[in-house]
A and B are shown apart, each in its own frame.
Chain A
Amino acid sequence: MRHTPVAALLVLVAALPAWGDESFDISKYEKKAFEYKGYLELKPEEQFLNQGATGYLLQFPNDNRTTADRWSTAAELSGVLRHQALSFNFTAHGSYLKDVNGSEGDARFFEAYGRWQADPRSSIDIGKRSLGWGKGYAWNPVAFLDRPKDPVDPELSREGFVMADAEWTRSFSGPLRTLALMPVVVPTTADLNPDFGTAGHINPAVKLYGLAFDTDVDLIYAAKDSRPSRFGADFSRNLGSNLEIHGEWAHTVDAPRALITPSNTLAMETLSYTSYLLGLRYLTERETTFIAEYYHNGAGYTESEMQRFFTLVHDAASTPALVDIATRAAAQGYNSPSAMRDYGYLRVSQNEPFDILYFTPAVTLFVNPHDHSYALIPEAIYTGVTNFEFRLRFQLNHGGAATEYGEKAVRSRIELRVRYFF
């Protein structure tokens, strides 16, 4: 009996996972003709509304509610079917939303394209693709051929446009390590890419990428067709083992912009403008990550232009004749995310605090420096359960009257997002 603890210890040691002797079966991971992956998502959400705010008047006209709950579910399936140098790639996305206004479902291909990869140096793609140009986390002024990113959820997959593109890449030794050229066309007809712009154009664009002196640089040009002529550049560089900087610059020539006139009509003005973004990512020794960005939206509305919109919407609440123009102004730019001129962004996340693996608390701040309104978004992400991701997020929109975040329909909201991956 005296030896029992020792024997128990030996049994325990023997029972410990024998990592040192383990190998794993790689046949399960070898390339197959068809591969797929995806996730299922459930997202309940409770919104606390800001009665009297511009956003509230637009979203809940003739209503008196103070809260609104919302349930959404989503499913995404991505896959690739291969035959020699050819492949067909797709991402299908379906969603169902139920809120105070009713329910709606949607299903579509975010991406569906064929690829011919002659060799690792060159490829041709035809079909619906999302390109994801730019270096910024929250905004991408040089993403000329992408749908706008949601700055609050920048990692969500987005629907692409139907296009044809090719990519040639060459590597070198010396300060210039990589050079890649990517021409793209985005044709528009009445049925093809109707939301890209006017029909009957091919919309050519080109991107030249280089890795030179340890810096990523893209030069991008998109010709005037369905959309105005645009050109820009971006860069990204690591300044150390824990510091990265990035930036984007874009110039648009003669773009139309909806503008509310002093006499409360909606005019289309033409302007050329420059947008840019500067950002950094810094990791401390304690594994706290800071991402900071400053974004100047050259086509954004000034404080006085936006105040005219807020006044119009409030006036429309008592003057039905103004409802149509207020609704159109909202749809044509005034109510879009990041509709104003300048923004600051800061995200602070702590990797695995208190030795809790796979747990990442974070807080994100959006600031409008002109009207001093802001959105504060604390969240916690846990990925410790195999194939599951849990995200609990709170959002507080704060600002005075006639400020961007002060006029949002939602004063605060809390949501839980659960994803199961397969």
Chain B
Amino acid sequence: MRCRQVVDKISEYLDGELEPELVRELERHLEHCEDCRVVVDTTRKTVEVFCATEPAPLPNDVHERLNQMFTQKFRKEDPS
């Protein structure tokens, strides 16, 4: 397998969707190609960091306006 093919297959490799034969070929390539090892490793970290990072809390003013909107809506529907 060449570097170009490794790059094309990274997504499927990281998602565990690559056929076993291609996984073996790709990993054989990684054993002797430092550049591809870096690309695969940092792509994996990229996906992981996006997946693992919790969203920031809602900005206070956004939260406040959302609450107001629903408070008004509930009040309109149930004036009691």
A-B interaction: no
